[in-house]
Structure 1
Amino acid sequence: MAVQPDQLTNTPRLTGAVRRVLVVDDSRLQLKLVGGTLTRWGFEVTTAESGPEALAICATDPPDLVLSDWMMPGMSGLELCRRFRELDLGSYGYFILVTSKSEKGEVAEGLDAGADDFLTKPVSNDELRARITAGERILSMQRQLSEKNRDLSHALEELRAAHEAIDNDLRQARTIQQSLVPERVCEVGTSRVSLLLQPCGHVGGDLVGMFRPGFDRLGLYSIDVSGHGITSAMVTARVAGYLSSTFPEQNIALQRRYTGFYAMRDPAETALLLNQRLAADPGVEEYLTMAYVAADLTTGRMRLVQAGHSPAMLLRANGEIELIGDGGLPVGLVDEVSYDTHAFRMKSGDMLLLYSDGFTEAVMDNGKMLGEEGLARIFRESAEGGSGPDLMEDMFWRLTMQMADKNSLSDDVSAALLEFDVLSQD
């Protein structure tokens, strides 16, 4: 390469992105002239008289910038550029080809080989300095981008680790929440209770359960806490303690008598007490809907409170469907509230379903919600071919097969089923 020795003054570099420069030329004179100029400008200069020598230097001590003559015996500057780009250097190196070629075809060939810039012989110091300065700007931006990418990769790795920790916590929370419903099926005398709980995420705001204060008495409930996720799941855990099947003395639906006997409170009174408990909890903004039944399994007498929840669905043994309940306010929504108790009787072979709106508000293939009529149809069809937990699983399967999105629940789905005096018929 031929460099005109017209200006040999020191010129400060703009960014310092280029520190090490490799000059490649088969002419020792040109190496001495160019190398001396670059050294006076403050660069660390290494020289090579051939392409293979240059590649060996790049592999052991990668330069920031390579200034290579195009026409050299053996390996040309063009081939050197191609081989240089194949090296795994860990950072980007700027490559300038010095040539007497100025035709567009040669320039395109050099760009295709990976060259960043060109200098045409004879090269003036002003032009050389300008091209190096342009390379410094590009390398500076590239290294800033690489640094930001490293920071982003580090942040993503930290985020991945945090997400994995959260995911592990949620899986454990799901296990804990599932433990709130330890029995999914239970035979009580000649009747049977089956429970279904399918959260739309790791944890959910639905809760179904039962408790048995005596051999012929049963408390059965379906609860839906507002919202989804961890906060709702924590509320369900607290409510599960208020309706404990293990510790009757903590169950607000039960009242201890002097004889040690636990009597069942009126369901309306139970809902009122639960509302007072939630209202008294500081910082709890969630509310819940509830359908709760106090059942006498000897007489079939049922007492139901419906606190903003879906109405209970009673499937008679003859196939008729009745909806029980007239609404009511959710629990924990307002301080001053009253509830009504609905009394009805079940006969042998009747089935009572308490369910969340995850059933009725599920969107079907036709774009409409399932609704109570659709649920009644599914309930009746499933009851014709099964009973107990099989019936519940069949209902859930029929629901998902008709949903617009068959692979994802948009809301928690839960239900509690009481089959009255069915075991006496077996």
Structure 2
Amino acid sequence: MLPETSDHADAGQARALLRRVLVVDDSPLQLKILSSMLRRRGFEVWQARSGEEALEICAAQQPDAVLSDWMMPGMDGLDFCRRFRALPRETYGYFILLTSKSEKGEIARGLDAGADDFLTKPIHAEELHARINAGARILLMERRLSETLGRLRDAYDAIDRDLRQARTIQQALVPRRSRRFGDTQVSLLLKPCGHVGGDLVGSFAQCEREVGVYSIDVSGHGITSALMTARVAGYLGGDFPDQNVALERMMHGTVLRPPEEVARRLNERLAADPGVAEYLTMAYATLRLDSGRVDLVQAGHPPPLLLRADGTQEFIGAGGLPIGLVPEAGYERLRFGMRPGDRLLLYSDGLTEAMRPDGAMLEQEGLLRLALACRDATGTEFLDDLFWRLTRETRAGTELEDDVSAALIEYGGA
């Protein structure tokens, strides 16, 4: 059936995949000639004298290949081919149109109908078997492709399960979305654009007088960035003070280091790692609960938004170097005060760089407008409303183009 090849195993597999052939022709003589040619080569042959009869056989038997005349009364070869392709099948069926047509336009019509190959009348035995052999090879490739896709699907499912578990672990890095420190409240929002992301927000306090809040964005996306956020979370976790680079143990207890010192220590650790290309931006603020004094470091992160209780607003900061990008980088402290009722929003660029349907970024002006629209809400309700308005206004919808995160400080006074 198949010509000799260097790979006899492939030839044997191809022969096994194309054994049953349906011949469709309204001419009894042509039907007999074609069937005889195929049977002499060992094929199992079924016959049909119309498209309607052929469809009944295909629905019941599922032949491996079909040879159908183009010009037939009633349902012609094109209509039969279209309806053959619409039948449910477990495997692919190879379809050859028998025709006296040779014009390119007619051939294109046949291909559009779903035909795989063509044979021009009168049919020669050697050409017929060559076309059948080609079909067998295609069926073999289709079978191998299906098997490969099955293995890839299994691998994807395994990776997807691992990533879902990784997402659960990453979400555990933000165990509580809202914490109260006296009359002051800190609320958090974390929305990865994939299973896992490179954003991180959090807060901690080791005394009743001061609280630290941070917003971090690791360069890139996906697993590598997520691993970096997990590592940084260990440097800033409040559950293990001895490992937190923002905390310093003193004679009278544990205090918060100045934000610029925290940025410098993080930079030393990340910049010293060989082979690590990722870096991060960070906005880290410490708030004195008794006075409302805020010390802030902005390391390449978007400037925090200060929403005053009197209705005024301003963005704090003008940039700074990212962390882990330049060894021995220096960082500056910004200091300002908050009064009862004031809010400070730390956020990642997933908010300001979200794209509108017209292709323009939301930017700071758009963020301010969304934040003012949420001013009647507080805590996590404010952040959830902000995120909802973001997805409504931009083209992100439910598919984020970048991780979105934010930390909201609502100062309640001493």
TM range (shorter): 0.7 to 0.9
Whether the 8 Å CA contact 2:266–2:323 is kept in 1: the answer is yes
Q: Output the CA distance in 2 between the equivalents of 1:331 and 1:152.
A: 46
Given that 2:350 and 2:402 are in contact with CA atoms closer than 8 Å, whether structure 1 keeps it comes out as: yes
Query: Measured at CA, do residues 330 and 116 of structure 1 come closer, stay the same or move farther in structure 2, by a change above 3 Å?
Result: closer
Aligned to 2:148: 155
Deviation at 1:381, TM superposition (A): 2.4
The one-letter amino acid of 1:397's match is W
The question of whether the paired residues in 2 share the 8 Å contact of 1:19 and 1:43 is answered with no
* TM-aligned CA deviation for residue 84 of structure 1: 5.5
What is the deviation of 1:312?
1.4
Q: Deviations over 1:64-109 (max 9, x none)?
A: 457x8xxxxxx9799987766555255226689xxxxxxx878x97
Q: Cα 1:182–1:117, aligned 2, differ >3 Å: closer, same or farther?
A: closer
Query: Secondary structure of 1:386's match?
Result: coil
Sequence identity percentage: 47
Amino acid at match of 1:170: L
TM-score, scaled to structure 2: 0.76
Deviations 1:196-222 (A, max 9, x none): 111111111110001111122111000
Q: Who is 2:258 aligned against?
A: 266
1:344-367 Cα offsets, whole Å, 9 max, x none, are 111111111111111111122443
Deviation at 1:42, TM superposition (A): 7.5
Indicate conservation of the 8 Å contact 2:341/2:411, yes or no: yes
* Alignment-mate amino acid for residue 167 of structure 1: D
CA distance in 1, matches of 2:370, 2:51: 74
Mapped contact 2:22–2:67 kept (Cα < 8 A): no
| Structure 1: distance between partners of 2:176 and 2:98 | 75
Q: Answer yes or no: is 1:88 the counterpart of 2:61.
A: yes
Whole-angstrom distance in 2 between the partners of 1:256 and 1:386: 38
Which SS does the other structure have where 2:361 is aligned? coil
Of 264, 268, 281 in structure 1, the residue corresponding to residue 273 of structure 2 is 281
CA distance in 2, matches of 1:185, 1:338: 32
Per the TM alignment, residue 371 of structure 1 is displaced from its structure 2 partner at its CA by 1.4
Distance 1:82 1:162, change over 3 A: closer
Opposite residue 349 of structure 1, the aligned amino acid is: G
Moved more, 78-87 or 167-176: 78-87
Name which of 403, 411, 415 aligns with 2:402.
411
Q: 2: distance between equivalents of 1:78 and 1:414?
A: 61
Structure 1: gaps of 5 or more residues: 1-11, 24-33, 45-62, 69-74, 97-103, 119-128
Aligned equivalents of 2:51, 2:402: Cα separation in 1: 63
In structure 2, how many angstroms separate the alpha carbons of the residues matched to 1:294 and 1:179?
Answer: 23
User: In 2, distance between residues paired with 1:172 and 1:380?
Assistant: 36
Q: Secondary structure at the match of 1:213?
A: coil
- CA shift in 2, pair 1:267/1:91, >3 Å: same
| TM-fit CA distance, 1:322 | 2.0
Alignment-mate amino acid for residue 61 of structure 2: D
Give the paired residue count: 361
Amino acid at match of 1:154: E
CA separation of 1:274/1:401 partners in 2, compared to 1, >3 Å: closer, same or farther?
A: same
Distance, in Å, in 2 between the alignment partners of 1:13 and 1:172 is: 50
Instruction: Identify which range, 222-231 or 163-172, moves more after superposition.
Output: 163-172
Superposed displacement of residue 14, structure 1: 5.0
- Higher Cα Rg: structure 1 or 2? 1
1:143 corresponding residue in structure 2: 136
- The 1:117/1:377 distance shift into structure 2, 3 A limit, reads closer
- The corresponding residue for 2:192 is 199
Counterpart AA for 1:323: F
Question: For residue 289 of structure 2, what is the aligned residue in structure 1?
Answer: 297
What does residue range 204-353 of structure 1 map to in structure 2 within 5 Å?
204-259=197-252, 261-353=253-345
Secondary structure of the residue aligned to 1:273 is helix
Q: Quick one: structure 1 residues 338 and 91, their matched pair in 2 at CA, closer, same or farther if it must change by over 3 Å?
A: same
**TM-score, length-normalised on structure 1?**
0.74
SS in 1 for 2:157: helix
User: Match of 2:384?
Assistant: 393
Q: Distance in 1 between matches of 2:54 and 2:404?
A: 64
What RMSD in Å do the two structures reach over aligned CA positions?
3.7
Distance 1:269 1:94, change over 3 A: same
Q: Tell me by how many angstroms 1:258 deviates.
A: 3.6
Equivalent position of 1:420 in the other structure: 411
Which SS does the other structure have where 2:248 is aligned?
Answer: strand
Which of 374, 380, 392 matches 1:382? 374
Q: Is the 8 A contact 1:361 1:370 kept in 2?
A: yes
Distance 1:267 1:140, change over 3 A: same
Instruction: Give distance in 1, aligned partners of 2:183 and 2:78.
Output: 86
Query: Following the alignment from structure 1 to structure 2, what is the Cα–Cα distance between the partners of residues 170 and 254?
Result: 32
1:7-46 maps to which residues of 2 (within 5 A)? Answer: 14=3
CA distance in 2, matches of 1:186, 1:79: 72
After TM superposition, the structure 1 stretch with the greater mean CA deviation from structure 2, 391-400 or 288-297, is 391-400
**Closer, same or farther: CA 141–250 of 1 in aligned 2, 3 Å:** same
